[in-house]
Structure 1
């Protein structure tokens, strides 16, 4: 950039108009003045040469420009396709005006480059090309560092092309927008058997970048075998549960699983099959299909509401909502096909007649993680509309005043709170609030190893209900034993209450259960897990006497 003052222009004109003889006469007339001018010019040229060594284009400007002032009324930005005109103006606005220096130009360059960084484009660079300041305009040159090459290395069980397809922001020829890059890499990291680490380096072509995705993966096959004594009334005590799951079907990240639960000594007494197929959709969307066939008094396959003999087929759409650091939440919508063959022991059903219906489910789930603990919440609505494959008479025959167009809210909240000395406090509360009498499949249960310990599984049922758990957990024990991954003790209090809407004459309309106890949690040798609890119930249940303690034990091998 050539910016000169008036004295420099006068000297230049003098040089053009005078001959050698004129210079000699001037030297003889004013020797001291000429000597000072000569020494000053020599020093300036020497300093300019020294400062120019090793300079980049952004810094390589004539010394005269650094020592002088000039007007800047416009910055002409070349090569931009990413930032808006307003964003560019905001970045350089403070460095416009009269009496500016090269330091202002450098500050404008840095400010514009920072605007790209803050905007999510860290591979964009800004420099100051060699130029003359004409018309009070300074040119800034933008180099948008696009991806010259995307490479995937280290993958053994996952397709290289599929991994590349998950990060379109890093496609060759594109300029990486890092907020999207982070989301897409997080999607890749959702697979528990795959770890992806991005590495950026300068490309072979100036202004380009190369990206390498380093992959560490394992065979995406998982399974578990579990034995427990989580039994219901009038059945054998022992239960076995087996599960097998493959998490990368078709090399598309699809997951398929099969689960079986039974009473090992008498499978006809209690058994249940379930299968699930999960497929990822577009960013933030997941789809699931599942089916369950139950021939047991109480199913412990999950919160699907299978009580007694029945069949279920269902579909779910899970949509991840926009989050922020420490917040992860989603919305789930779905519909089930339920065919219930008979009621369970202890329900409020009057008859053992088949019921077929199509309930709809909508649920919000959120996890909030902070420095002091983690909170999880779920709130869902479950309802069935009259005319959707249901028969009003089937509901009436199954339960007095039951309607096929039922509705109920169901939710839960959990909190794990860090305490001093490495202790922690865990609390959970679940509830259900119904619009009217429900058939047994949709009722709220209390009792069992998963809620009110010390009682049999599903010992009491009701249309409305609430249950709560509070656990004080010890610090981690056996920390010096390398084979022990986790070991802690706990003391707990459990309680639950259910209400029956429109009870029959003489029927009790509410039940309470509560207990206290102690427990142990162990994870060792990488694959083994043990849960053991002893609970002392305070109230009589349908099959449990107060103050008669009960052990709940579960041992599992998981890979």
Structure 2
């Protein structure tokens, strides 16, 4: 079908019209001679416009008065808005070009409002009292055809595209938002193609769907633990991405240490629920995490891995506001509210709780955050970033914060600026270059949950998880990937080797010594993936710089350290 209007998913740009034949129209330059045939032509000595010779070079275009544009067929835009858009083209001495410009201005008005299947023409007419008629044809959906959906019902696909209805003019902007939100479901992707229908003003829609079973079980294994709690972490999670056939997602996960020391309890639970709001193009995330281990951990969730600083529980609420896409650029604003109740209490060998000891005080944090996320997806590169701010909407007593921050007098009210960024570039011969980093700034001391960890398997590699956490700081990972090695080794899936260099820096407020830290590491790694069922990664890092920027450097690991993670889906 010629001239399809394509609404792509969030990995492709929106194209209003791929072919000028998609909505053929008669241009005003062809129609104006007929328009002037009975009224204007006699003034120029022409009895019949159809017999008029073609304009000759150097001859001025005829002038005529345009008092008003009468727009026929419009139901989508308010009349005063149209009149305002066309008023610059009225006047006593107008010509054919002004009519053409008015036509284009009206079409542009529809385009900027998202109505890409609307076209405007100038019908054959006689100029009477300076009124020029413009005809609007609002292309409306005639037939909708679904293709490829095997695990998601036709009703589900239609509900995820509320802007696509028979008998209505599709709004490309809103429909693109529907597609973006629908494609956030990990179990399906949709693509909408609009093309010319059988009748004038009719647009047919074809919805291509790629889906898979909406539920899956996942087992994970890594070595992000410690000697005190067990070196390994074993987890299992369940996720269903079409609860009640509404694209709502539910996840539950459990993580433990299979070889923990006797008497040590390591249990991490998490629940997540995502609700897409297709009418608005947004979504809501509900999160809950509970940890019984007093060391940093991570638990999978619908909003990504949740970093857990220690023992306690976390309730989270996220509102994801998707913004209109601009070609290859997509963006969203995430509003977040957490309730973090941290049980950092300490006990003696006989079980007596220590009171008033720095670093051994339970505390409560209620961070309220807003973050802007942007993403450019191009043929050979992907760029993403996030900028946000966090304030504390509710807290424990100031004494609790003072003790929780090891006597550094952390305030109950704080402001934190946070940023993250990523860059992936495809190089010649399938090599890849990637950068990833995070940063935060606070002018005051912070409790542990709000500090940035600049060391660990997801930061500067070669260190234990959050071996260094600071009030302000940053880290950067730089990676160079080889071409895919799987085919050379006759392996299914994808296998790449990499070399990396990580570095980071951080600062602690109100600390007499060792307030500044600068660390770096370098190493090699492997990444293997087979479809969505198996994902394995391994990094071997050598710490190149492990000292603080001041005297009396604390002992930090300086040997080689290997980190691995294995994910198996069922």
TM interval, shorter chain, is 0.7 to 0.9
My pick for the range that moved more, 298-307 or 238-247, is 298-307
Structure 1 residues 15-94: aligned runs within 5 Å: 65-68=49-52, 73=65, 77-82=71-76, 84-85=82-83, 87=85
1:556 aligns with 2:567: yes
SS of structure 2 residue aligned to 1:458: coil
Q: Find the counterpart in structure 2 of residue 259 from structure 1.
A: 253
1:326 to 325, 328, 348: 328
CA distance in 1, matches of 2:143, 2:243: 28
Structure 1 residues 379-398: aligned runs within 5 Å: 379-385=387-393, 388-398=394-404
> What is the deviation of 1:517?
1.0
SS of structure 1 residue aligned to 2:298: coil
My pick for the range that moved more, 208-217 or 283-292, is 208-217
1:291 aligns with 2:288: yes
| 1:409–1:433 CA contact under 8 A, matched in 2 | yes
SS of structure 2 residue aligned to 1:321: strand
Q: Find the counterpart in structure 2 of residue 440 from structure 1.
A: 448
Deviations 1:510-550 (A, max 9, x none): 4443222111111135522221111122356877542x222
> What is the deviation of 1:272?
0.9
| 2:440–2:474 CA contact under 8 A, matched in 1 | yes
SS of structure 1 residue aligned to 2:308: coil
Q: Find the counterpart in structure 2 of residue 40 from structure 1.
A: none
Assess, with a 3 A threshold, how the Cα gap between structure 1 residues 544 and 319 changes in structure 2: closer, same or farther: same
Assess, with a 3 A threshold, how the Cα gap between structure 1 residues 93 and 437 changes in structure 2: closer, same or farther: same
SS of structure 1 residue aligned to 2:326: coil
2:497 to 489, 494, 502: 489
Deviations 1:154-209 (A, max 9, x none): 54443434433443443233223333333333333333322334354665665434
Q: Find the counterpart in structure 1 of residue 539 from structure 2.
A: 533
Structure 1 residues 134-283: aligned runs within 5 Å: 141-150=135-144, 152=146, 154-200=148-194, 207-266=201-260, 268-281=264-277, 282-283=279-280
Deviations 1:95-150 (A, max 9, x none): 965xx8xxx99979996996688565454456676767777877665443323444
My pick for the range that moved more, 71-80 or 188-197, is 71-80
Structure 1 residues 287-366: aligned runs within 5 Å: 287-296=284-293, 297-301=295-299, 306-342=308-344, 350-366=358-374
My pick for the range that moved more, 356-365 or 197-206, is 197-206
| 1:91–1:112 CA contact under 8 A, matched in 2 | no
| 2:177–2:324 CA contact under 8 A, matched in 1 | no
Q: Find the counterpart in structure 2 of residue 449 from structure 1.
A: 457
Deviations 1:298-331 (A, max 9, x none): 2123775532211111212222234422322222
CA distance in 2, matches of 1:428, 1:199: 35
Q: Find the counterpart in structure 1 of residue 16 from structure 2.
A: none
Assess, with a 3 A threshold, how the Cα gap between structure 1 residues 393 and 531 changes in structure 2: closer, same or farther: same
| 2:161–2:175 CA contact under 8 A, matched in 1 | yes
> What is the deviation of 1:290?
0.8
CA distance in 2, matches of 1:93, 1:375: 49
2:524 to 506, 518, 521: 518
> What is the deviation of 1:273?
0.9
Deviations 1:39-79 (A, max 9, x none): xxxxxxxxxxxxxxxx9xx9998995421379865675543
| 2:289–2:313 CA contact under 8 A, matched in 1 | yes
Assess, with a 3 A threshold, how the Cα gap between structure 1 residues 166 and 356 changes in structure 2: closer, same or farther: same
> What is the deviation of 1:225?
1.3
Assess, with a 3 A threshold, how the Cα gap between structure 1 residues 275 and 94 changes in structure 2: closer, same or farther: farther
Deviations 1:244-272 (A, max 9, x none): 11111122221111111111123944221
SS of structure 1 residue aligned to 2:506: strand
CA distance in 1, matches of 2:339, 2:99: 68
> What is the deviation of 1:363?
2.1
Q: Find the counterpart in structure 1 of residue 438 from structure 2.
A: 430
CA distance in 2, matches of 1:421, 1:337: 48
CA distance in 1, matches of 2:92, 2:247: 50
Taking structure 2 as the reference length, the TM-score comes to 0.73
| 2:317–2:336 CA contact under 8 A, matched in 1 | yes
My pick for the range that moved more, 481-490 or 492-501, is 481-490
Aligned-residue CA RMSD in angstroms?
4.1
Q: Find the counterpart in structure 1 of residue 415 from structure 2.
A: 407
Q: Find the counterpart in structure 2 of residue 5 from structure 1.
A: none
CA distance in 2, matches of 1:306, 1:241: 15
My pick for the range that moved more, 86-95 or 180-189, is 86-95
SS of structure 1 residue aligned to 2:509: coil
Assess, with a 3 A threshold, how the Cα gap between structure 1 residues 167 and 514 changes in structure 2: closer, same or farther: closer
| 2:65–2:90 CA contact under 8 A, matched in 1 | no
Taking structure 1 as the reference length, the TM-score comes to 0.75
Gaps of 5+ in 2: 1-25, 38-46, 54-61, 348-356, 548-553
